[in-house]
Structure 1
């Protein structure tokens, strides 16, 4: 492994919101259950040393120091740029200054061929997933855990070894990761090849439990599985892409290709669901999820990957209060908004996969 030091709705569709200005000054919609937050976007705050270049930027996470961790895909760079590739995993302070980086192939573990998500737990350990499913190569059917300085700790699962949705030893191109520090568990959105949420012991990596759409166990593997009695179709997940746990114990799971978010308890008991941007040009909507930093975590932020928008929901009402963004490279625009994170001050970070950048959205003070 290379290491680098500092040296170098289902309720109602709300009125659509346009991106007002480069400052993202959004009006409050008529049907808002809570006022629409305002953000100032910043796209040039990360300070990459050594002339490094980012490939597809797939994930962001914030640790207890409000440091930002970034996961990117060096293999997606053009051949001419690969000599200037930034490391796959990087840590930055709250001002965007580079702290350290690591990642890549190493002894004793299978580094993912397509880096997808990362999470940082209370101990500062970094959990990493990949989503490669190419038949010509071993699929990324594992999750890796490293110390905060890049020392390998463990690998859970093996490359190319998945036996499907009931396999408790391997994943199948897992998407997102959430580290529950209070519960001592790690939640995996195992959703590119499988159709489930799977939970691990945060200290040992041991399997604890899993479920599919509507909390069904074992998870239904067919994308057109019948739903439980009284529930609308589809009865299974299609692309379990994002997972986020609120302080009140509600777990939010995005089903990107089915354009919805389902809500569960920690144990997988189904509570509710709501649609995310149905009827848009791209059917791949609900991607990354993040929660606002206020004590009640009033807002749920959802990235619409296919339509290049960011949606804001009143979490208690499960009502859309606004959305903004369009495809582009200007501040406040997005190109493939993928996974999200917020820090303790409410700053929202957006990893733009195809945009190959991290955009910082700074909350504006109420006037």
Structure 2
């Protein structure tokens, strides 16, 4: 083979291999369900609607569920006379390790605080402290506990909401995220109010709030499913702080994500599955790993998790479908990741479960 032909083959080889490498390097993460996570609960316990999930610095997985949504058919062991051998509602807050072993369980009404009637949302600070909320029509507060369940702080209270511009009371909050550098907690507020509101995470002192596009929020009734609406729709369902100090907000029923500076200054927005009606498309989101190149969207109406490029909103893939089998979803509600990039999801309505998805090799 002469030198010229060898050079041509070499160029082709480099082009093919280099192209394949570039394609592999830019490939979005893919996932497969772990059908054995979590392990069976002890004490004859059963879960109701699982309305929140978070991971902590130890790669433990925390969920919050709604014991009051366990039906008589499911809690037959608690009835008088006993209806069946199974089951008993588990405590609302449960902590698991990555292998699916239950480590701790606690929560519920107690002295000195207002436990929510319909649990919604959980967040774990880097210090390990646990925040929970609720979205019943009387749940206008969030609560802070130690990892062992000792009460520390309450923001807002039960009763009536005072509107989207009140600085002390919440309005059926959905989700929260702490900025440890500033000791501030951002709250997606929520199912009644139409705003993001910020408090001191140690004292509960009010800091600031804003609505869509960084404007003063309004409680005016507006049509849903409008990705250019001047106001957030209900619910404002998630708030996530990125490592570049941008804040991503789930405007669920307007099928969009809005991006802000921590001050509340609007940066940009991304429309997502804009033809979705029902309960909207953007239920929760989380970066797929530490690089935060991709975000994962929990879409509880279309019942899938979608991989998007964070900076552009480009769809790179998805997993899941509506169904009851392992890996399927019914109202996939919240999402979290651990340090290995494994994904944890929760389901409400009649889904009533948590699932784990590992990265495909």
Q: TM-score, normalised by structure 1?
A: 0.84
Going from structure 1 to structure 2, the CA distance change for 1:122 and 1:163 (only over 3 Å counts) comes to same
Greater relative contact order (Cα 8 A, min sep 6): structure 1 or 2? 1
Structure 1: distance between partners of 2:279 and 2:140? 26
In structure 2, distance between residues paired with 1:118 and 1:278: 27
Q: Deviations over 1:41-90 (max 9, x none)?
A: 12431121112100001110101101010100000011243431111001
Q: Secondary structure at the match of 2:354?
A: strand
Q: Pick from 200, 218, 221: which aligns with 1:220? A: 218
Deviation at 1:321, TM superposition (A): 1.4
Displacement of 1:283: 5.0
Residue 7 of structure 2 corresponds to which residue in structure 1? none
Structure 1 residue 122 displacement after superposition: 1.9
For residues 1-48 of structure 1, the C-alpha deviation after alignment (integer angstroms, 9 at most, x for no partner) is xxxxxxxxxxxxxxxxxxxxxxxxxxxxxx999423111112431121
1:117-155 deviation line (CA, Å, top 9, x unaligned): 01111221111110001xxxxx10111111110011121
Match of 2:85 in 1: none
The Cα of 1:281 is off from its aligned counterpart by 5.6
Look up the match of 2:64. Answer: 71
Query: 1:69-108 residue pairs with structure 2 within 5 A?
Result: 69-82=62-75, 83=78, 84-108=88-112
Q: Does 1:297 align with 2:295?
A: no
Structure 1 residue 361: Cα displacement? 1.0
SS of residue in 2 equivalent to 1:132 = coil
Contact 1:285 1:304 in 2 (8 A): yes
C-alpha deviation, 1:102, in angstroms: 0.7
Instruction: Report the CA distance between 1:301 and its aligned residue.
Output: 0.7
- CA distance in 2 between counterparts of 1:232 and 1:317 reads 16
Cα distance change on mapping 1:50 and 1:205 into 2, 3 Å: same
Deviation at 1:162, TM superposition (A): 1.8
Corresponding residue for residue 38 of structure 1: 30
CA distance in structure 1 between the partners assigned to 2:103 and 2:314 by the alignment: 39
Q: Which residues of structure 2 form unaligned runs of 5+? A: 1-22, 79-87
Which residue, out of 351, 355, 359, partners 1:359?
355
- Contact 2:227-2:254 at 8 Å conserved across structures: no
Preserved CA contact (<8 Å) 1:175 1:242: yes
C-alpha RMSD over aligned residues: 2.0
Is the contact made by 1:40 and 1:362 (CA closer than 8 Å) also made in structure 2? Answer: yes
Partner of 2:20: none
Q: For the residues of structure 2 that align with 1:41 and 1:170, how far apart are their CA atoms?
A: 40
1 CA distance for matches of 2:333 and 2:236?
Answer: 13
Match runs of 1:107-256 below 5 Å: 107-133=111-137, 139-216=138-215, 218-224=216-222, 233-238=228-233, 239-256=235-252
Q: Deviations over 1:229-255 (max 9, x none)?
A: xx9731000120011111011111011
Q: List runs of 5+ in structure 1 lacking aligned partners.
A: 1-30, 134-138, 226-230
- The CA distance in 1 between the partners of 2:228 and 2:287, in whole Å, is 27
Among candidates 331, 335, 339, match of residue 334 of structure 2: 339
- Are the equivalent residues in 2 in contact too, given 1:258–1:283 (CA < 8 A)? no
| Contact preservation (8 Å) 1:224, 1:235 | no
SS of structure 2 residue aligned to 1:327: coil
Look up the SS of the partner of 1:66 in the other structure: coil
Alignment partners' CA distance in 1, 2:35 and 2:256 = 29
Distance 1:206 1:244 in 2: 20
CA contact under 8 A between 1:34 and 1:321: conserved in structure 2? no
Select the structure of larger CA radius of gyration: 2
- Residue deviations 1:207-240, cap 9 Å, x none? 1111100011x31222439xxxxx9731000120
- SS for the counterpart of 2:46 is coil
